[in-house]
Amino acid sequence: MMANDQLKRRAMELFRAAGEDPGGSSVEDLRARDDALWARFVPPDAIVEAVDAAGVPSLWVSVPGSDPGRAVVWFHGGGFMIGSPAGRRAFGADLARAAGCRVLLPGYRLAPEHVFPAQLDDAVAAYAWAADLLGAGNVVLGGDSAGGGLAVTAMLAARERGLPLPAGAIPTSAALDWTFTGASHTTNLHLEPVATKDVYRQVAERFLAGHDPRDPLVSPLFADLRGLPPVLLMVGGEETLLDDSRGFAEALRAAGGQADLRVYEGMFHYWHLFASFLPEGRHAVQTMAEFVLRRTGARSAA
């Protein structure tokens, strides 16, 4: 699929303007700019409800007709330092509409105020809450960037803690290797507007606070992946994180799991969040929705 260059440029300029560079503005300014960027895309029919998900302040997002019995638990990105449930309301509504379900957006704790494993603990708590409410077979985990990795590590931690596993997972533009071994960190550096290895190293210093980045609950690329449910990996072909998804897909298949890797050629980090005007973004959301429908079933395909 070829990107419409004008629309792609617009999306990349919006993303760059938000300035996810922790070495520049203050964390507070970055958080405010990030929320402001995504707020402009919230559709008027989005239904947003605040909920306490086992102590994790979260948002339920749905649209008229959403099946309340199925859900995607989606973890926002932002390097574990910025981002919020409010910043994924538009995406949540897009996915809820396409998949005919609800989307839970957990407000997990952020660095530098809270370091690892606070984010993981909150993610597991929110997932367990949703699984208890709806049944694990009616829940899919997902997330973007750091949140994409969190969706995977939450599954691993749930397995360790004896919790039922979700129906599947959708790590998107996912950070799955915080040791940055993928060649795409170098080969795609000139193409990536914001999410570079230097940025990731800076945020890793803050959220890991000296913890080993090779810990499988930080970098799931190094985890024992046996027994995980099917995973849909989505990544832009121009992302520095491209090889994170490629490597994880290979590792999951080697462990006997099902990995469906979708590389969107010509696309950049977070392209899926611009579904309101970017055709590739809409296609990504629809692909996610089809996976959710296959994994959870549906009251209706509408």
Residue 40 lies in a domain: yes
Number of domains observed in the structure of the chain: 1
Q: Which of 238, 239, 245, 272 is catalytic?
A: 239
> What would the mean pLDDT of 184-212 be, rounded to a whole number?
91
Q: Which of 76, 185, 269, 272 is catalytic?
A: 269
Question: Taking the CA atoms of the chain, what radius of gyration do you get in angstroms?
Answer: 17
Q: Which of 62, 145, 184, 245 is catalytic?
A: 145
pLDDT, tens only, 33-57: 999 999 999 999 999 999 999 999 9
> What would the mean pLDDT of 127-142 be, rounded to a whole number?
99
CA separation (Å) from 150 to 40, 80, 115, 146, 283? Answer: 26, 9, 14, 6, 23
Query: The domain containing residue 194 runs over which residues?
Result: 5-296
Strand duo 47-53 + 56-62: pairing: antiparallel
Q: Say if residue 301's pLDDT is above 90.
A: no
Tokens of 152: 């995977």
pLDDT, tens only, 250-262: 999 999 999 999 9
> What would the mean pLDDT of 109-129 be, rounded to a whole number?
98
Residue 301 lies in a domain: no
Helices (H), 68-181: 89-99, 118-134, 146-160
pLDDT, tens only, 231-286: 999 999 999 999 999 999 999 999 999 999 999 999 999 999 999 999 999 999 99
Residues 6+ apart with CB under 8 A from 175: 79, 145, 146, 148, 149, 200, 241, 244
Active site residue 66: no
Residue 248 lies in a domain: yes
Active site residue 185: no
Nearest by Cα to 37 from 13, 61, 58, 60: 13
Active site residue 239: yes
Residue 93 lies in a domain: yes
Q: Say if residue 2's pLDDT is above 90.
A: no
Residue 302 lies in a domain: no
Report the CATH number that the domain containing residue 205 is assigned in CATH.
Answer: 3.40.50.1820
> What would the mean pLDDT of 288-302 be, rounded to a whole number?
80
Residues 6+ apart with CB under 8 A from 176: 148, 149, 152, 219, 220, 221, 241, 244, 245, 247, 248
Per-residue model confidence (pLDDT) at position 23: 53
